[in-house]
């Protein structure tokens, strides 16, 4: 029996999400670059988070936190928000030992960058279903604030060029997190914290936590509300990497980067010349 055009069903959005998530997952696990976005480009962030949820559900590792990224310019009005989130997993978390250089690997031919950031650690579980956290109620959940470097990365080299819906689709363009030292007396210093990043000895970016709207506190608020709205409320011990204070800095194989947090110390890292077990598993 022949099918007419009207009788042929288009793949559902859930099917598209599962297929795209599977392609990104396979590329990450095999450390293989993707030449193009693996499916139709999502137009709305809701579509992108559906893809991300599908990938998280099948990822063979434990969720330990979230990275927060920025949405800039006219796209803020398009999407109705100035932030996005992506998951951080246990296997991609490193803890710096003093100022010793931490090695990491990323996908050859994909995207890779380093970003100096501050990282909240929750001391209490978020309330399941609560999506109206504000600065006060969000900070009440926090135990420590850490220095950190987000290693941004994706199998797709053009991920940032294609915009926030694509960024969200692939784990928010997160490849890993290097955790540094606790920030002393952080509650009293929350609006004065800074970070500068050098790569191979050259300063490539400097910034202060108040440079973006609401600072790092608003990143925490957004992560709590967004994750809870997706049925993934944050738990005690989870980490929230709050956004690139220093800016986003491309890292090539062989590059050495240092994030300098002033009195709160430095984190040094080195992108290996080829993928190895030091990178995301």
The torsion angles phi and psi of 137, rounded to 5 degrees, stand at: -70, -30
The SS3 of residue 232 is: coil
Residue 3, pLDDT score: 37
Residue 152, pLDDT score: 98
Per-residue pLDDT tens, the chain, 281 aa: give them. Answer: 333 334 333 445 777 899 999 999 999 999 999 999 999 999 999 999 999 999 999 999 999 999 999 999 999 999 999 999 999 999 999 999 988 999 999 999 999 999 999 999 999 999 999 999 999 999 999 999 999 999 999 999 999 999 999 999 999 999 999 999 999 999 999 999 999 999 999 999 999 999 989 999 999 999 999 999 999 999 999 999 999 999 999 999 999 999 999 999 999 999 998 644 344 44
Q: Cβ distance 191 to 210 under 8 Å?
A: yes
- Return the bridge partners of 196, or none: 206, 260
- Going by C-alpha positions, the residue among 152, 153, 148, 154 that lies closest to residue 178 is 148
Residue 199, pLDDT score: 98
User: What pTM, to 2 d.p., does this model score?
Assistant: 0.92
Q: Cβ distance 261 to 192 under 8 Å?
A: no
For tokens 């995301």, name the residue: 280
All residues at 6 or more sequence positions from 78 whose CB lies less than 8 Å from its CB, including other chains: none
**Residue-wise DSSP of 48-107:** HHHHHHHHHHH-SS-EEEEEEEE--TTHHHHHT-SEEEEEEEGGGEEE--TTPPEEE---
First-to-final CA distance of the chain? 48
Report residue 5 as tokens: 């055009």
All residues at 6 or more sequence positions from 258 whose CB lies less than 8 Å from its CB, including other chains: 197, 198, 266, 267, 268, 269
Report residue 205 as tokens: 């970016």
The torsion angles phi and psi of 215, rounded to 5 degrees, stand at: 60, -160
- Return the bridge partners of 148, or none: 117, 179
Integer Cα distance of 104 and 191 in angstroms: 31
Residue 99, pLDDT score: 87
Distances (CA, A) of 243 to 86, 96, 133, 217: 11, 19, 18, 10
Residue 281, pLDDT score: 41
Q: Are strands 63-70 and 249-250 parallel, antiparallel or unpaired?
A: unpaired
């Amino acid at each position: 029996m022949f099918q007419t055009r009207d009788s042929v069903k288009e793949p559902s959005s859930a099917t598209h999400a599962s297929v795209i998530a599977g392609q990104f997952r396979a590329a990450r696990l095999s450390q293989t670059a993707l030449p193009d976005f693996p499916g139709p480009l999502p137009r709305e962030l809701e579509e992108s988070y559906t893809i991300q949820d599908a990938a998280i559900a099948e990822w063979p590792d434990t969720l330990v936190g979230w990275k927060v990224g920025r949405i800039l310019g006219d796209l803020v009005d398009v999407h109705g928000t100035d932030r996005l989130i992506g998951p951080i997993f246990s296997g991609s978390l490193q803890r710096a030992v003093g100022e010793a250089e931490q090695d990491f690997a990323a996908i050859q031919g994909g995207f890779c960058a380093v970003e100096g950031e501050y990282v909240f650690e929750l001391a209490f579980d978020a309330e399941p279903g609560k999506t109206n956290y504000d600065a006060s109620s969000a900070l009440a959940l926090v135990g420590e604030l850490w220095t950190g470097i987000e290693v941004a990365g994706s199998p797709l080299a053009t991920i940032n060029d294609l915009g926030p819906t694509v960024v969200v689709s692939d784990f928010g363009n997160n490849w890993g997190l290097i955790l540094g030292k606790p920030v002393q007396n952080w509650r009293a210093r929350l609006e004065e914290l800074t970070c500068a990043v050098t790569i191979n000895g050259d300063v490539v970016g400097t910034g202060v936590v108040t440079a973006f709207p609401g600072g790092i506190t608003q990143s925490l608020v957004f992560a709590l509300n967004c994750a809870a709205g997706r049925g993934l409320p944050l738990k005690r011990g989870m980490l929230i990497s709050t956004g690139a204070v220093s800016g986003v800095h491309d890292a090539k194989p062989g590059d050495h980067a240092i994030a300098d947090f002033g009195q709160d110390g430095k984190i040094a890292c080195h992108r290996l010349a080829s993928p190895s077990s030091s990178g995301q598993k």
